[in-house]
A and B are shown apart, each in its own frame.
Chain A
Amino acid sequence: MKNMPWREIEKTLRETGRDDVPVRDSDAFWAAFKDRAEGETRNEPAPAPVVLFPAWLKAAACFAVIVTAAALLIPAPSNNSIVDAELSEITAIEVAAAHGEITTDESAEGTIVWVHGLELEDAGPNQIKAFDVAVDHSAVTIMNDESTNSTILWIHGMELK
């Protein structure tokens, strides 16, 4: 057998489906469920809270919170913008076609940029034409997920402090 392309492996997995998963008969399941659910205490919606504070006190508290938050958000002077970059290590990205939105995730051994809903007729590994990264990284992988019409840009081993 020759080396199998991913497309063929995926097709085989999809065709296999969940044939191996036995699902209990519907009537038997719901009869057992109703037996057990009967008399169970349910989590009723929480009642509306009692008003303890007058409106003017709430407004004053909100104002105080906003002022404090604004003060905290003013950045401290820094000589190294990269150290402060955190979620902005990808400084530029150029995509070949119209798309729905771009989301990122930093929790998966690197940074993943997920370009949703690309409107390319001929999907290939070239939807992401250019990008700039703020810090060193070990590798970059670009992959396409045809099933969700998305392109994933995965930047491995970003070394942000």
Chain B
Amino acid sequence: METGEFQTRIRAAKSGDVDAFAELFETLRPATTAVAYRLVGPNDAEDVVMDTYLKAWKALPRFNERSSLKTWLYRIAHNCAMDYLRSRGRRLERIMPQDEVDDRDIGELEDPKASLPSAAIEKAETVTAVRGAMAKMDEMHRLVLELRFMDNLSYADIAAAMDVSIGTVMSRLFNAKRKLQRIMREQKQ
């Protein structure tokens, strides 16, 4: 969106044009959903996104444009997620999605790698190893890796989503990378 168009829409949204608000914020919804998903888990993410957008709608007239709209929205998403967890007496911990239970007889199961070429097998093994290692990470470090590499957020946006400083994001990222590599080494042994 070009600057002039952005300014027109934000002015309209600030003065109460809900369609302008929707046009402005729709592009940010997948990333906001990802942030909420990472913070509260799959079951509650949509509720947190809705709360975030309602709060953003109410607060937009006072948005001073000192930070980017995206960073501002992620900060709201963080606050909503924390409110959500508090209201349910939960802490920041996410249940990793489980694979569906396969109730077929063992004889019916085929080797999923049997029909794959060797490069694809290696790729599948890498993905499995990385996912397995991610599942063993503590929440704080897993979250920063997910936001950075899976959701492609900038340091500033991660800082807003996690409510920490940019330096802390860097420190956590560094530790998370080392931890993930260590877990993968241990998995291999």
Chain A interface (Cβ within 8 Å of chain B)? 1, 3-4, 6, 8-10, 12-18, 20-24, 26, 29-30, 32-34, 36-37, 40-46, 103-110, 112, 114, 141, 143, 145, 148, 152, 154
A30 touching B149 in the complex, CB below 8 Å, given contacts A12-B126, A13-B130 = no
Q: From residue A26, how far is it (CB to closest CB) to chain B in Å?
A: 6
- Can you report 24 residue pairs joining A to B where beta carbons are below 8 Å apart? A9-B177, A10-B149, A16-B130, A17-B150, A21-B33, A21-B37, A22-B42, A24-B49, A29-B29, A33-B53, A34-B22, A37-B18, A41-B58, A42-B60, A44-B61, A103-B166, A106-B167, A108-B165, A108-B171, A112-B167, A112-B170, A143-B174, A154-B171, A154-B174
Q: Would you call B34 and A108 a contact (CB within 8 A)?
A: no
A-B CB contacts (within 8 Å), total count: 137
Contacts of A145 in B (CB 8 A): 170
Partner of A105, one of B16, B149, B167: B167
Chain B interface (Cβ within 8 Å of chain A)? 16, 18, 22, 26, 29-30, 33-34, 37, 42, 45-46, 49-50, 53-54, 57-62, 97, 122, 125-127, 129-131, 134, 145-146, 149-152, 154-155, 165-168, 170-172, 174, 177, 180-181, 184-185, 188
The DSSP consensus for interface residues of chain A is mixed
Complex Cα distance, B169 from A114, in Å, reads: 12
